[in-house]
Amino acid sequence: MTMPSNLCPNRMQIHSIIKETSDVWTINLINHDFYTYSPGQYALVSIKNSEDVMRAYTLSSSPGKSRFISITVRRLDDGVGSNWLTRAVKPGDYLWLSEAQGEFTCANVNSHQYLMLAAGCGVTPIMSMTRWLMANRPETNVKVLFNVRDAQQVIFAEEWQQLTNIYPDRLQLCIMAENPDNGGITEGRLNEEKLKVLVPDIASRVVMTCGPVPYMKNAQKLAENLSVPAEHFFMERFSTEPEAVNNEDVLTLKIRHRLIDFKVPVGTSLLSALEQNKQPVIAACRAGVCGSCKTKVLSGNYTTTSTMTLTQDEIDAGYVLACSCQLQSDVEIA
C-alpha cells in the first residue's frame, strides 16, 4: 500500500473499534514499527487514505502503557473525517498517521499535583496524561473535573472507574453533568464557586484543560482568578472550532479579490469563517502543520496558534495559516 502523503508516513492496522458513547468511538491501531509520542499529543490522520484530506485527532492511548495506538473520535453530522472513521473503516483496514504533534503534554511539566479540566471529547488527552502519570510518576496526585452533557456521555467511563479503584489515594475524579442541574456543587457548568470548593488547593496545582474553545477560555479565566500562576496553566491549541459568542460580538471579514464581505463571530478561526460562508479554501491537516491554508491578511487584528510552515518573511508580510488564525477585529484578506 502506497503512502498517501509525506505528512502521514506511519501505516497502522485497525485492531478493534470500541463504542464509548452514542456518538464517540475509540479506534485501536496496531503499529508494526516504532512510533514515538508523548501523553496528550495528537496526530494527523489521512482521511480515506487521501493525499490532501487530513484531520487531527488526539492519541488517547498512553506511551509505554497502552497495548495499542488509539484515537478517539466524536462523529459530527457534517464531519468528513469523523463519519469515515466511525462508519466506513473496520478492523483489518489500514490508517496512515503523521508523526505525533503538539506541546500539550504533562511529560515536560515537573509537578507533583495536577488539576485536569475536560469537557466532552476534550477528555481524550486528559485520559492519556492521567493514565501515564499514574503509571510513571508514583508521587503524583491528580484531580480530574470532567464536564459532560449527561451521565450517558462519559467517555472512558469503565476505565475511569478502574483507575480510581486502583489509585484511590492519588486520583480523584468528579463527573459534572450539565443535565440535570439541580444546583449541586458537582452539577452543571464549572464556575469559580464550584472550583473553590472542589479544588481548594488549586493555586498549588498545575492546571491542564481541553475542550471546546469557550470552555478552555473560561477555565483560563477561573484559574487566573484563583491565583494559578500563568506558567502553571496549559490548554490544548489545535482546535479550530469557532467560539460561541454573543450576537453583538461580531466582526466583518472582507475578501479583497472577490469584493465581498460577511459577518462572523469574534474569535472564529479564519478557516471556519471561510468555510461557513462557502468560500473556496484548501485545508488538509487543519492543525497548523501542512501549510496548505496559507492566507495573506491585509489588515485587522488576529491571534495565531501555529506558524509552523511559514517563513519569517511570510509572517512579516502578513501571511497566516487560516486554521490557526483567530479573528479579533474587522479583517481584510487578499
Closest by CA to 199, choosing from 148, 159, 142, 131, is: 142
- Look up residue 247 and give its three cell numbers: 450576537
Give the pLDDT confidence of 164-182 residue by residue, as tens digits. 999 999 999 999 999 988 8
DSSP-assigned letters across all residues of 83-104: HIIIII--TT-EEEE---B-S-
Q: Is the pLDDT reported for residue 2 higher than 60?
A: yes
Q: Is the pLDDT reported for residue 242 higher than 50?
A: no
Beta bridge partners of 157: none
What are the residues whose beta carbons fall under 8 Å from the beta carbon of 189, sequence distance 6 or more? Answer: 147, 176, 178, 181
Q: Is the pLDDT reported for residue 297 higher than 50?
A: yes
Q: Is the pLDDT reported for residue 192 higher than 50?
A: yes
Give the pLDDT confidence of 101-130 residue by residue, as tens digits. 888 999 999 999 999 999 999 999 999 999
Instruction: Say what the pLDDT of residue 250 is.
Output: 79
Of the pLDDT bands very low, low, confident and very high (cuts 50, 70, 90), residue 237 is low
Of the pLDDT bands very low, low, confident and very high (cuts 50, 70, 90), residue 275 is confident
Instruction: Say what the pLDDT of residue 155 is.
Output: 98
At position 134, the amino acid (one-letter code) is M
Question: Distance between CA atoms of 85 and 17, rounded to whole angstroms?
Answer: 10
Q: Is the pLDDT reported for residue 67 higher than 70?
A: yes
Question: Distance between CA atoms of 247 and 192, rounded to whole angstroms?
Answer: 25
Domains of the chain: 10-97 (2.40.30.10), 113-235 (3.40.50.80), 250-333 (3.10.20.30)
Q: Is the pLDDT reported for residue 300 higher than 70?
A: yes
Least confident of 46-50, 83-87, 314-318: 46-50
Q: Is the pLDDT reported for residue 215 higher than 50?
A: yes
- Mean model confidence pLDDT for the chain: 92
What are the residues whose beta carbons fall under 8 Å from the beta carbon of 177, sequence distance 6 or more? Answer: 148, 149, 150, 151, 187
Give the pLDDT confidence of 248-261 residue by residue, as tens digits. 467 899 999 999 99
Segment holding 214, helix H or strand E:
helix 213-225
Give the pLDDT confidence of 76-110 residue by residue, as tens digits. 988 899 999 999 999 999 999 999 988 899 999 99
Question: Distance between CA atoms of 37 and 42, rounded to whole angstroms?
Answer: 9
Question: Distance between CA atoms of 327 and 130, rounded to whole angstroms?
Answer: 33
Give the pLDDT confidence of 139-158 residue by residue, as tens digits. 999 999 999 999 999 999 99
Of the pLDDT bands very low, low, confident and very high (cuts 50, 70, 90), residue 306 is confident
DSSP-assigned letters across all residues of 12-78: EEEEEEEEEETTEEEEEEEESS-----TT-EEEEEGGG-SS-EEEEEB-S-TTT-SSEEEEEE--TT
Cis peptide bond upstream of 63, omega within 30: no
Of the pLDDT bands very low, low, confident and very high (cuts 50, 70, 90), residue 247 is very low
pLDDT above 70: percentage of residues in the chain = 96
Closest by CA to 264, choosing from 179, 328, 185, is: 328
Average pLDDT over residues 224-228: 97
